[in-house]
């Protein structure tokens, strides 16, 4: 397992990984991270300013209101909004879009709540190793409660979960990770791993001083359902995976894996660094 970012956290004497904090959509549930994208596309389409999927995915992982604000700030969308509305988007427009987003996202979550294959088994592996399981998200508490209830029925239930409003701010700020560490009594931060599929996940982990691991094959970087991804040719899969891996490495990930099935090997590699035995 190759360490991509040599500036790894210091373990403050820890000899093993004490906690793993997962993202949700695209990492543990919702293969391809489709629910947020489909909802944003619908919200902006209804407003008369259709957005491209690439635009919707650009800031994926941050708090949803912040995500809508980031879309409104994109130059192309700014220009289209002014053409359609005769004026630039303002704070009231953000309020209206977010208000419309909320019920649509709830509706969409019902359709995109499947736990990604192998996740419950990986989590059980980590728990056998004495590792606590946390989670952070860009969803609101009400959204996450719905998603978590569905995930629990499928065998995945983290020990704790934090949302932006509970942490004080969303990604890339580190506060949700800090709150999760306090809630689960995890110390030191350098013995914690954050796992996610977006650049904002990676930056959240780096800003918190924990190990950041990117997941390339199941999330935002690929942006396809499992069925559609499997339908690609081997060459097409390879091209998409290379780009997704490169984007996560560029964001600063210490390790990049294709699926969570590779995470136990990362834990072993991190523990080797903590013990000073890494090659």
Would you list the DSSP string of 242-278?
HHHHHHHHHTT-SEEESSGGGHHHHHHHHHHHHTT--
* Residue of 23, 30, 93, 247 with catalytic role: 23
Report the alpha-carbon distance of residue 59 to residue 41 in Å, rounded. Answer: 14
Asked if the structure places residue 11 within a domain, the reply is no
- At residue 133, φ and ψ (nearest 5 deg) are -115, 115
* Residue 249 burial by Cβ neighbours in a 10 Å radius (0-12, 13-18, 19+): middle
Report the alpha-carbon distance of residue 155 to residue 121 in Å, rounded. Answer: 9
Q: Is 262 a catalytic residue?
A: no
Give the per-residue pLDDT at 228.
Answer: 96
CATH number (domain holding residue 73): 1.10.150.240
Q: Is 8 within 8 Å of 122 (Cβ atoms)?
A: no
**Final residue of a structural domain among 111, 130, 149:** 111
CATH number (domain holding residue 175): 3.40.50.1000
Report the alpha-carbon distance of residue 220 to residue 199 in Å, rounded. Answer: 9
Give the per-residue pLDDT at 11.
Answer: 59
Same domain, yes or no: 121 and 239:
yes
Give the per-residue pLDDT at 66.
Answer: 94
Asked if the structure places residue 6 within a domain, the reply is no
Q: Is 7 a catalytic residue?
A: no
Q: Is 130 helix (H, G, I), strand (E, B) or coil?
A: coil
Report the alpha-carbon distance of residue 204 to residue 24 in Å, rounded. Answer: 14
Which residues of the chain register pLDDT less than 50? none
Residues 6+ apart with CB under 8 A from 58: 70, 74
**Residue 193, token pair as written in the block:** 């791993």
Residues 6+ apart with CB under 8 A from 177: 21, 134, 136, 162, 167, 189, 192, 194, 204, 205, 208, 210
Range of the domain at 63: 35-111
Residue 115, beta-bridge partner list: 29
Same domain, yes or no: 249 and 127:
yes
Same domain, yes or no: 86 and 48:
yes
**Final residue of a structural domain among 111, 136, 154:** 111
Which residue in 249, 254, 172 sits closest to 211, CA to CA? 254
Same domain, yes or no: 158 and 251:
yes
**Final residue of a structural domain among 111, 130, 161:** 111
Same domain, yes or no: 104 and 193:
no
Give the per-residue pLDDT at 15.
Answer: 86
Same domain, yes or no: 178 and 213:
yes
Residue 197 to residues 186, 254, 257, 271, Cα–Cα distance (Å): 23, 13, 10, 22
Question: How many independent structural domains does the chain possess?
Answer: 2
Could you give the angle at the alpha carbon of 75 between the alpha carbons of 70 and 80, nearest 5°?
100
Same domain, yes or no: 136 and 43:
no
Q: Is 216 within 8 Å of 256 (Cβ atoms)?
A: yes
Give the per-residue pLDDT at 278.
Answer: 77
Asked if the structure places residue 10 within a domain, the reply is no
- At residue 256, φ and ψ (nearest 5 deg) are -130, 130
Same domain, yes or no: 123 and 214:
yes
* Residue of 30, 64, 197, 201 with catalytic role: 64
Q: What is the pLDDT of residues 10-55, one digit of tens each?
A: 656 788 999 999 999 999 999 999 999 999 999 999 999 999 999 9
């Amino acid at each position: 397992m190759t360490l991509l970012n040599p500036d790894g956290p210091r373990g403050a004497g820890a000899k093993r990984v004490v906690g793993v904090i997962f993202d949700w959509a695209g990492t543990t549930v919702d293969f391809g991270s489709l629910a947020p994208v489909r909802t944003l596309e619908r919200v902006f389409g209804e407003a008369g300013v259709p957005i491209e999927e690439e635009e919707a995915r650009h800031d994926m992982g941050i708090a949803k209101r912040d995500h809508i604000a980031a879309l409104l700030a994109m130059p192309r969308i700014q220009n289209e909004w002014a053409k359609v509305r005769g004026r630039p988007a303002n704070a009231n427009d953000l309020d209206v879009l977010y208000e419309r987003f909320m019920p649509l996202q709830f509706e969409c979550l019902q359709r995109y709540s499947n736990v990604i294959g192998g996740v419950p088994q990986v989590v059980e592996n980590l728990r056998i190793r004495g590792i606590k399981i946390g989670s952070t998200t860009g969803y609101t508490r009400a959204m996450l409660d719905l998603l978590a209830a569905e995930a629990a029925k499928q065998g995945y239930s983290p020990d704790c979960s934090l949302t932006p409003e509970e942490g004080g701010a969303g990604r890339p700020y580190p506060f949700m990770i800090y709150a999760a560490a306090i809630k689960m009594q995890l110390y030191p931060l350098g013995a914690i791993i954050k796992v996610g599929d977006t650049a904002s996940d990676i930056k959240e982990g780096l800003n918190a001083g924990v190990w950041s691991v990117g997941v390339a094959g199941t999330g935002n970087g690929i942006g396809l359902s499992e069925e559609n991804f499997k339908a690609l040719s081997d060459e097409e899969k390879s091209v998409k995976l290379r780009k997704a891996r490169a984007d996560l490495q560029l964001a600063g990930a210490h390790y990049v894996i294709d699926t969570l099935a590779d995470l136990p090997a990362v834990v072993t590699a991190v523990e080797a660094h903590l013990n000073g035995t890494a090659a």
